């Protein structure tokens, strides 16, 4: 997928990945790639400013933990993030359904 | 470790440190996150059969340019102490060598003036463009001169040598400053603030341009003005060639060190 299109929906995708459980940056990227069957393969560094932005917006919480002897910053979806995810997911489904209907009528 | 050998992750983190916005704590946290990320990606690459160095290169490639993490345009890096230090080192090296080369050209001009005469080094002013008082002043400065033109060219050669040696002296001071500061500023942040060999490449290109200009000017005077004044530009061309060779050797060494 084109990276610009992906970046426009990155917040929603990250919230969705974290809805399945907390994780550090690398694991979030791995889960995003796995769940998209490799389709969402953007420069991995772009995920970090998005995670920081979501945390500043109050949708994620983070704390530092020692995991397998290494200090990791673990991100978690909080209640505000869950609400935002539900809202954005509903909007996305509505939007993509409408686009699909238009595309379906043109073929 | 502070050697010049390539360390992809360390070099990437150095570049990132120089451009990360935010408070010191935010910068430290982001650096730590990215470092862990790169180590995870390296481990994944090594598990897939890559050598560690290749796995580090692949990890850096996958994470993307540092401005993807900082959100800053790559064209507008934040001025910082490391970049200023690296620029000062590059400037003192290129400027020092240029001034020393100018001093060497003055020495060559002086030798040429002795061997082929002052008019080969500097063309005399055309008749009518100077006064009797000028002649008297030149002759008083060089009582051994047999005529006004000889005294004039001797005076001009003296000026060239004096200017060149003064420039060479300041060039040596600049190079002394370069080597002193280079020994003091060994941190990788400073060493990687500019691309490896950039100062040497810029110096070599500049020296080659000066050499071509000097050679062209000297040959033109040799042909059009029967050699009058050809000596100085030819001296500059020779000195510039020496400077270009110096920079080329340093550039080759820097690139080879980087590749190992």
Nearest CB partner across the interface for B64, out of A24, A44, A70: A44
* Same-domain status, B59 and B163: no
Q: Does B61 touch chain A if contact means CB atoms closer than 8 Å?
A: no
Cα separation, B191 vs B197, whole angstroms: 10
Q: Does A71 touch chain B if contact means CB atoms closer than 8 Å?
A: yes
* Same-domain status, B45 and B89: no
Q: Which residue has the higher pLDDT, B73 or A107?
A: B73
Q: Do A44 and B70 touch (CB under 8 A)?
A: no
* Same-domain status, B144 and B59: no
* Same-domain status, B152 and B238: yes
Contact residues on chain A for B66, CB-CB shorter than 8 A = 45
Nearest Cα neighbor of B106 from B58, B158, B47 is: B158
Looking at the domain assignment, is residue B222 inside a domain? yes
Q: B139 is written with which tokens?
A: 């002759």
Q: Do A43 and B68 touch (CB under 8 A)?
A: yes
The whole-chain average pLDDT of chain A stands at 87
| Helix boundaries (H) for chain B | 8-19, 24-47, 52-63, 66-70, 81-116, 118-121, 132-141, 148-184, 188-191, 198-224, 231-259
Looking at the domain assignment, is residue B76 inside a domain? no
Looking at the domain assignment, is residue B45 inside a domain? yes
pLDDT on residue B72: 65
Nearest Cα neighbor of B164 from B121, B105, B120 is: B105
Burial B32-46 (b: 16+ CB within 10 A, else e): ebbbbbbebbbebbb
CATH classification code of A3-106: 1.10.10.10
Q: Does B65 touch chain A if contact means CB atoms closer than 8 Å?
A: yes
* Same-domain status, B133 and B199: yes
* Contact between residue B123 and residue B113 where contact means Cβ atoms under 8 Å apart: no
* Same-domain status, B26 and B98: no
ipTM of the complex in this document: 0.82
* Same-domain status, B15 and B86: no
Mean pLDDT of B242-257: 90
* Same-domain status, B250 and B141: yes
Nearest Cα neighbor of B105 from B200, B202, B217, B198 is: B217
Residues of chain A with pLDDT under 70: 1-5, 7, 105-107
In which band, very low, low, confident or very high, does the pLDDT at B1 lie, cut at 50, 70 and 90?
Answer: very low
**Which domain-ending residue is among B70, B89, B118?**
B70
Which structural domain range is residue B129 located in? Answer: 81-259
Cα separation, B29 vs B209, whole angstroms: 47
What residues are paired with A65 via a beta bridge? Answer: A72
Position B38 pLDDT exceeds 80: yes
Q: A33 is written with which tokens?
A: 């790639």
Looking at the domain assignment, is residue B75 inside a domain? no
Q: Does B70 touch chain A if contact means CB atoms closer than 8 Å?
A: yes
Contact residues on chain A for B70, CB-CB shorter than 8 A = 49
A14 to chain B nearest CA, in Å?
16
Looking at the domain assignment, is residue B144 inside a domain? yes
Looking at the domain assignment, is residue B23 inside a domain? yes
In chain A, where the domains are located: 3-106
Element (DSSP H or E) covering residue A102:
helix A79-106
Among A15-19, B8-12, B94-98, which stretch is predicted with the lowest mean pLDDT? B8-12
Return the DSSP state at A23.
B
Position B73 pLDDT exceeds 80: no
A50 to chain B nearest CA, in Å?
9
Nearest CB partner across the interface for B63, out of A24, A45, A73: A45
Domain count, chain B: 2
Q: Does A74 touch chain B if contact means CB atoms closer than 8 Å?
A: no
């Amino acid at each position: 997928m084109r990276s610009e299109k992906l970046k426009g929906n990155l917040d929603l995708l990250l919230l969705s990945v974290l809805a399945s459980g907390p994780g550090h940056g690398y694991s979030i990227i791995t889960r995003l790639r796995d769940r998209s069957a490799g389709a969402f393969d953007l420069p991995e560094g772009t995920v970090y400013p998005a995670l920081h932005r979501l945390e500043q917006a109050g949708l994620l919480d983070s704390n530092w933990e020692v995991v397998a002897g290494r200090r990791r910053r673990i991100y978690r979806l909080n209640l505000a993030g869950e609400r935002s995810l539900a809202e954005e997911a509903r909007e996305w489904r509505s939007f993509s359904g409408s686009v699909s209907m238009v595309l379906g009528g043109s073929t | 470790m502070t050697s010049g050998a390539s360390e992809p992750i360390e070099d990437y983190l150095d570049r990132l440190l120089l451009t990360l916005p935010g408070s010191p704590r935010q910068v430290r946290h982001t650096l730590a996150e990215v470092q862990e990320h790169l180590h995870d990606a390296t481990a994944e690459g090594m598990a897939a059969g890559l050598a560690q160095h290749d796995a580090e290169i692949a990890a850096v490639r996958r994470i993307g340019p540092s401005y993807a993490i900082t959100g800053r345009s790559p064209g507008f890096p934040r001025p910082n102490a490391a970049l200023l230090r690296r620029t000062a080192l590059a400037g003192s090296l290129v400027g020092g060598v240029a001034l020393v080369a100018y001093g060497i050209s003055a020495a060559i001009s002086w030798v040429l003036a002795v061997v082929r005469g002052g008019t080969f080094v500097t063309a005399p002013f055309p008749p009518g463009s100077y006064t009797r008082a000028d002649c008297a002043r030149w002759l008083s400065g060089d009582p051994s001169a047999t005529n006004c033109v000889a005294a004039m060219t001797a005076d001009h050669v003296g000026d060239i040598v004096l200017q060149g040696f003064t420039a060479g002296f300041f060039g040596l001071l600049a190079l002394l400053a370069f080597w002193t500061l280079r020994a003091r500023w060994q941190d990788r942040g400073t060493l990687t603030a500019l691309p490896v060999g950039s100062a040497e490449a810029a110096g070599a290109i500049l020296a080659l341009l000066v050499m071509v200009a000097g050679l062209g000017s000297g040959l033109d005077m040799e042909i059009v003005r029967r050699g009058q004044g050809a000596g100085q530009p030819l001296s500059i061309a020779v000195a510039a060639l020496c400077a270009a060779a110096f920079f080329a050797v340093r550039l080759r060494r820097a690139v080879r060190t980087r590749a190992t």
